[in-house]
Amino acid sequence: MKIYQFCPFFNENRVAEIKLKEDARWIDELHVIEANKTFSYADKPRNFDPAYLGPKVIYHSLHADNVFRKPERHQLYFNPETCQAANFDRWYWRLLSYNSAFHNEAYQRSRCSDILRERVEDDDVIILADFDEIIDSRMADRIVSEVKKRQVITVKMHYSVFFLNLFCRSNHGAPHWSFRVFAMTGRFFRSMPFSGDYLRKKGIAEGLYQDIYCLEEPAGFHHSWLDYRQTALPKLQAFAANVKDKSIVHEDYIKQCLDDKKLYYLDTELYVDNEKSFLPALQDIQTADLLYWK
């Protein structure tokens, strides 16, 4: 049995330092895919540090010029009020067709099927996650055991933003950052009749509660926009074509969120918590500049 993880990458090199150390404790192969375009079709450099590559970290370059779509003048936009479980298929497929950034994100995330399908065996474990979603290695045995029992599971995560210890009280869609990260057997992965992006988006929309088991306790951390001065604005700009309200794609928006301790686009308060059981990998990393002290 081998454990594989597949993650799209944008610019999260500070997260990479943490993720790779944590994953090295239990993941056999981490597959990273990075495009040469943002989801809004702007050119971007290859940001993943090649020093991280090795037998357990495999990099896949996506030349997106001919597969990503350019923004169109008239687009549909994701609306959390209407894009819910009851009409999931209708709005999901419409957004894939009529929102270029939504399509481009889905294309990159769903490449996991092509990359991993011929590598994995039925009894392997496959984890689908975004790069800044890190499973606690202390949960490895529990996760593998539940996957073997149930074929596919999802997990809850602590959700921090800007800093390691600055957390969101809530998030849109499925609570506790659940139904974003999925772990499954190779058999389930290879037989899925839908893409990894479809699975994630339907999970966020709270459409999988009756179908996929979720561990009760949090199994890791979603460290969003870590090292925010370098990463947050470019990441917002990458999604600009996916949002109708362009006012959030500015440095002033980030500053206001920090000053007010509120993530406005999710309408959630931010709070400091230094008592959570943080990832073991943090013991081996310099994190002073990644902690919120105010």
DSSP sequence for 177-203: T-SSSEEEEHHHHHH-SS-HHHHHHHH
Sign for the pseudo-dihedral over CA of 168, 170, 172, 173: positive
Q: Tens digit of pLDDT for each residue in 70-111?
A: 998 878 887 777 788 999 999 999 999 999 999 999 999 999
Predicted local confidence at residue 77, as pLDDT: 81
CB atoms within 10 A of CB 171: 20
Contact 149, 232 (CB under 8 A): no
* Total count of domains within the chain: 1
Q: Which residues, including other chains, have CB under 8 Å from residue 275's CB and lie 6 or more apart?
A: none
Q: Which residues, including other chains, have CB under 8 Å from residue 274's CB and lie 6 or more apart?
A: 165
Dump the DSSP string for 158-172: EEEESSTTEEES--S
If you search the block for the tokens 């917002």, which residue do you land on?
236
- Mean pLDDT, consecutive 10-residue segments, the chain of 294 residues? 97 95 98 96 95 97 97 81 88 92 95 92 98 98 99 98 96 95 98 95 97 98 91 72 65 87 88 97 95 87
Predicted local confidence at residue 267, as pLDDT: 86
Predicted local confidence at residue 233, as pLDDT: 76
Question: What burial class does residue 162 get, using C-beta atoms within 10 Å of its C-beta: 0-12 exposed, 13-18 middle, 19+ buried?
Answer: buried
Q: Which residues, including other chains, have CB under 8 Å from residue 145's CB and lie 6 or more apart?
A: none
Q: Which domain holds residue 77?
A: 3-290
Q: Which amino acid is at 177?
A: W
Predicted local confidence at residue 231, as pLDDT: 80
**CATH classification at residue 19:** 3.90.550
Q: How many angstroms separate the CA atoms of 178 and 100, rounded?
A: 26
Prediction pTM value: 0.94
Predicted local confidence at residue 133, as pLDDT: 98
Give Cα separations from 30 to 48, 83, 131 (angstroms).
Answer: 13, 31, 10
